[in-house]
A = this chain, B = another copy of it.
């Protein structure tokens, strides 16, 4: 039986999101051959679990952790010092020690990145892991990385991200030669920073990658590329701008549809369209960003995710485990990484 370690203390909503999310996931019936190892306050977990009789005891184990939790506002350096005893540290250690196949946490992103790197280690030739998201593009999905793990990047790290993104697109999108683009403020070769220019030169010379050059913010959701590569600062700004724009659209329509009887009727008749639009870009439904480049599977759940979001992050982790993501990724990187040296 596969096992997934859950840090149930992390995130803005803490346990009320994670335990209910686990419950939802288990109730969905998708996890007959997966068990969960829960890291957090045992007393609290047991109390909440008792209130959710649908979760059978055989499906989970509880590991009590200290009250000394990693806070959302903490710097990674503080986290490492605090280390041992926190739910996040213990959940990751559990996977590092081979007791589970993947870890999921909604806690502090920087801390999760630093501890995962420290405890799980990175794949050969990869400096740092990258947070990966799959965004809708009208025709399918676009893989985007990094979304906040590395706020600044060297050219060679961007090249590593490009290779990891290519591998993720091969494994999760079943694309043999995904088109890879570097996010920039223009598509012309002369635009942007020196770091981007250098990364461009390196990627251009590699044979086993379909590098299409620079891509702008307008290209992320347009389907002109399959993989968008960027540093974690720009990636995070871009991803959250998308969320904000969708929030604007939703609020605008809500307000305007209420303004007349004709548009209210129009809304009722169009509801299917709006619901499917919302689903296609809902951060809760798309929750669960794999931290790729580590020796084990680690999935970051959004800090403000609710039960639905946490359940989807669990689902992402389980899918990665069951599809032998690590094996496929390593084989896909092995074929090309020699060139990135």
Contact = CB atoms under 8 A, between A and B. Distances in A.
Per assembly, the copies of the chain total 2
A188 B248 CA distance: 23
A57 B256 CA distance: 44
Contact of A263 (B220, B239, B245, B269): B269
A221 to B, nearest CB: 4
A233 interface: yes
B273 A269 contact: no
Nearest to A251: B138
* Residue among A74, A188, A265, A269 with the highest chain B CB neighbour number at 10 A: A269
A249 interface: yes
Given A151-B185, A270-B270, A241 B220 contact: yes
Interface stretch (A18-26, A114-122, A211-219, A292-300): A211-219
Main secondary structure of the interface of A (DSSP, over half): helix
A148 B185 contact: yes
A244 B256 contact: no
A183 interface: yes
A306 B3 CA distance: 57
A137 B248 CA distance: 7
A236 interface: yes
Contacts of A249: 246, 249, 277
B256 A277 contact: yes
10 contacts: A136-B248, A185-B240, A193-B233, A219-B244, A221-B247, A221-B248, A222-B248, A238-B238, A248-B281, A269-B270
Given A73-B191, A185-B240, 13 more contacts: A73-B188, A136-B248, A138-B252, A138-B255, A151-B192, A183-B237, A217-B242, A237-B241, A252-B280, A253-B277, A257-B270, A266-B267, A266-B269
